[in-house]
Structures are given as structure tokens and as C-alpha cells.
Amino acid sequence: MSFRPFLFPAAACLLAALAGAAQDAAPSLAELADGTRPATAALQRMIEESAGLVELPAGTFLLDGPLVLDLPRLGWRSLRGADGATRLVVAHAGPGILVQGDHQGTANPATVQDHTWDRERFPSVSGVEILGAHPEADGIVLSRTMKCVVRNVLVRKCRHGIRLVERNRNTLIADSHVYDCLDTGVLLDACDLHQVNITGSHISYNGRAGVRQYNGDVHNVQISGNDIEYNAGADGGLPAGEIVLEAPDGIISEYSITGNTLQARPQNPGANLLVLGAENDAPHGARTMAVSGNVIGDRDKNIVLSRACRVTVAANTVYGGAALNVHLDRCANIVLSGNNIGSRPFSHNAADPHVDGVLVEECDSVLLSGNILSGHRFGAPERGGAVTLVNARNCRVTGCQILHPRVRGVHILGGAGCVVSDNTITAPDEGGDFLAAVELSGDGRNHLVQNNMISGGPDPALPADPAQGTVKDNTLLPAP
């Protein structure tokens, strides 16, 4: 008698029983919620088996690999923690959560493929804390997503908090805390990126930068209503600051930076806002930007624009630049208007490291108008003042209140076609170092200094070689 017909059914039953026993032996999420054993496999199973909404339970879950929302394969997914009661500990290199799409187009509806709408659009991550436990751990990584939303998350101790790579469109990052990361809070990492809103978030105490773009082709970014502070600066002289836009081989374009607090400490290197356009595309490597309504203060420099054009900096309160408040380098078509730019504190003691001031170097068509500039100490007997223009062309300083500068009000060195007009310039109360209200020096030409009201100061208050330009119709008053 042969037993072969009965062999395979019996084996199948045995294997099924063993599989069931193994599954029964697998720890439950509740058993993994103490963070002592890896929970990646169990959580990934939830993502795979979900109908779309993945609700992570409360607890601490240890990750030894990324949680992957593979949208092309799985379809729509939303990952939601227990409103802050879910902690993911990233104990591996790479992302804690990877949102992976396959968007090939732009934000133009005509370029969006059907699979993006049918399986990938509008993924979201919310309600979780992500805690780094590896020096190369990243919090959340978005790759080729369309209309992704990250909100109500806390990311800390990761290398990068939220990182965008490859290509993304219409991304919202809102109402979140990105705190105490090793390098950068929100990193736009060499990606093709349009339409990103970063709003209503705390992005602070990160090692190099709060928000950083590195290379890529980036347009249409709104950074609004955030508290971005104490991003202390990396070792080794790397570009650092609260917002760092750096593209040696890329494009920085169409940024709106409004209503934020950007603040650090005077000893921190870099700048609160640091924009570095491409060397080989000056001044067009960084372009078309608006910076308005921000409180910006206390760093080595407050605002640095290098190789940038078509930038408007308006209605900001700027203070406490240990070296400079504003530094423009090889820029064109820059408006600096309606800002309150001063020292902190207003009165310095002899040991105070703050210098403060506005330095414009190798720039064309810069307009400084309607600003209050108070208590600036930038400059030395050889050069420099509250506003210093070096080899500038077709620039204008007009309608400003330049109050109590230590060395000079405005110093123009070289350049051509610059105008200083209709300003009020007052000498410091103790004028031992004060040399001039406006001075023209170097080999400049065709400058014009007129209709300024000058209070106090040395005689002459407006030293200039006639070959450099015209000085006329200024009002000189004694110190009050």
C-alpha cells in the first residue's frame, strides 16, 4: 500500500500549523512598545496590510531599519501616531520613515501621470516623535512625492530631521518641532523641488542649520511663521545658520521668507540668513527672493547674500551682528528698504564684540532706502562705516536715518554712479573716532552726495575728491 497520496496534504497541514505557531510566538505591538526589541518588522507589516490609514499605537518602538511607505507598490498611505504618544527610536543609518513615490512630472497637472493620482498622491506623516540613536539616522525622508504633508511631528537627535531628495512637488511641513539634530533640521538635498511650504514650526538647536538647501533645482519655497533659532554652526568652517541656501552647482530661486524669528548667539559662525549662489553664475545663481517681516538677530552676521539678484529685504528688525548686520557680495538688483537695523545693546562698552553695519561689495544696482541704522561700529580709520560700499556701481543710499555711527555714516570706496541723498546722519555722542558723515575715497567716479542733513561731527563732514563726484546742497548742523 502506498502512502504517497497522503504525504503532501499531511506535510502542508504540518507546515501551516508550524507557521501559525510561529506567528503566535511573534511579539505583539504591545509587547514591543517598551522600546527594548526591534519593532520594524511588526510596524512594516501594519503598513503593508493597511487599507491606507496606518495608526501607530502609543509606546516607544525601536527601529533597526526604515519604515517604508512604498506608494507605487502599496498605494495611498497615511502614517499617524497617537498624537505625540508614539516614539520611534532610529537605531540605524538612514531614514526612520521613508516616503517613496515615483512622481516623474512637475506641479503642472498635464505632467502628472495617472499612477501618481491613483496610488501615490497626498501621503502624510503625523503625530509621532522620531528620536535618533545613530549618528547617521535621518528622521523622515521624502523621495519623488506629490502633495506630501508632514505635520505635528517632533524629530530630534537625528542627523537630518526632515530630508527631501531626488524630486518632490507641493510639499507641506507644518506645526512641527525639529530640534537638536546633529546637522540640519529641514534639508532640501540636491533635489528637483518646487512648491514647498514650511510654516508654523520650531526648528531650533540643530548643529549646522535650521533650514538648508544644498544644490538642486529649487523654486517656490515659502518659509513663514517659524521660530528658527540657535542652530549653532558646524565645526570646520562649513556654511551655517538658521536658514542656509547653498548651491555651488545648482539654482536657488523664488523664496519667500516672512514672519520668522531667526536668532542665535553672537559667537555662532555663519549668518542667520546665508545665501550662497553659484560662483560660475554670479549674480544669478540665487534669485527672485523676498525677505520681510522677520526678527533677525545675534549671530556673527545677520544677513549674507552672495552672488544673488532680484532680492527684496524689507520691514525686518535686524540686530546684533557681531561682525556685520548685512553683507552683500557680488549681487545685483537688491532692495534693502524699511528695515530697523541696529546694535544690541545700543550702547557698547569697550569689550563688547559687536561691530554691526552694512557692507556692499562688488555689487550693482542696490537700493538702501528708508532704513533706520543705529549705533553701528563697523569701520576703522582706513575704511568703513555704518554703510560701506566697495567698488559698487549704480547704488543708492536714500531716506535713511543713520544714527550715531562710530567711524563714518557712509563710506564709498571706488565704484561708479552711486548716490547718497536725503539721509539724516548724526554723529555719536562721544565722537572721538568719528571721521565723516559721508566719505568718498579710492578711485571712484560720478558719485553724488546731496540733500543730506548732518548733525555734529568733524570738519569737513563730507570729505571727497572732486574727481570722484559731486557733493552739494547738504545741511550741516551742530550737535544738539
Average pLDDT over residues 408-425: 98
Task: Name the strand (E) or helix (H) holding 25.
Answer: helix 4-25
Q: In this predicted structure, what is the pLDDT of residue 465? A: 87
pLDDT single digits (tens) 346-376: 555 556 667 899 999 999 999 999 999 999 9
Helix or strand run (H / E) with residue 10: helix 4-25
64, amino acid identity = D
The C-alpha atoms of residue 96 and residue 266 are separated, in whole angstroms, by 34
Give the span between the Cα atoms of 476 and 480, in whole angstroms. Answer: 12
Q: Give the count of beta carbons closer than 10 Å to the beta carbon of residue 117.
A: 13
122-165 per-position pLDDT tens digit:
999 999 999 999 999 999 999 999 999 999 999 999 999 999 99
Neighbours of 49 (CB within 10 A): 9
Is the pLDDT confidence value at 224 over 50? yes
pLDDT at 354: 72
Q: Is 94 exposed, middle or buried (0-12, 13-18, 19+ CB in 10 A)?
A: middle
Q: Please give the model's pTM, rounded to 2 decimal places.
A: 0.93
Q: What is the rounded CA–CA span in Å between residue 162 and residue 370?
A: 38
134: CB partners within 8 A, 6+ apart:
90, 91, 92, 93
Neighbours of 473 (CB within 10 A): 10
- Nearest-angstrom CA–CA distance, 166 and 143: 6
Q: Where are the beta strands (DSSP E) in 307-431?
A: 308-314, 317-329, 332-337, 340-342, 358-361, 364-369, 372-374, 387-390, 396-398, 401-403, 408-413, 419-421, 424-426
Check residue 359 and give its pLDDT. Answer: 99
| Contact between residue 415 and residue 395 where contact means Cβ atoms under 8 Å apart | yes
Q: Calculate what percentage of the chain has a pLDDT beyond 70.
A: 92
Q: pLDDT higher for 267 or 276?
A: 276
Say whether 120 sits in a helix, a strand or coil: helix
Q: Is it the case that residue 14 has pLDDT exceeding 70?
A: no
